[in-house]
Structure 1
């Protein structure tokens, strides 16, 4: 099936445009990875999520 894109490829392309947000979220989690709790890095996650959604929408 030519022209068909797998979902993981779409995800990888969208996330590639969000390296700044991905880095910030990763640093937040890594700062205290032995004590990760729900909503620990919620602001960084939401920025990453919004970037991903905006990037995916452009495709």
Structure 2
């Protein structure tokens, strides 16, 4: 059996997560704030696409940071 399997790859991605999150702190904070404000305003119910702009910014940042970390 090969030593590289789905669990090994998943663990490696998860080990990099704190570094990627630190690189995207501003985007993560903006997304978290949007989710928090949205759930408070709509009685704890988050609807799809209410924070899509912030999520897309966070996603783009993660992808960019992941390319730099490799």
- TM-score, reference length from structure 2: 0.72
In the alignment of these two chains, the number of paired residues is 55
Higher relative contact order (CA 8 A, sep 6+): 1
Larger radius of gyration: 2
Q: Structure 1 regions of 5+ residues with no counterpart?
A: none
Q: Post-superposition, which runs of at least 4 consecutive aligned residues in structure 1 deviate over 2 A?
A: none
The two structures, once aligned, show a CA RMSD in angstroms of 1.3
Q: TM-score, normalised by structure 1?
A: 0.83
Unaligned runs of 5+ in 2: 1-10
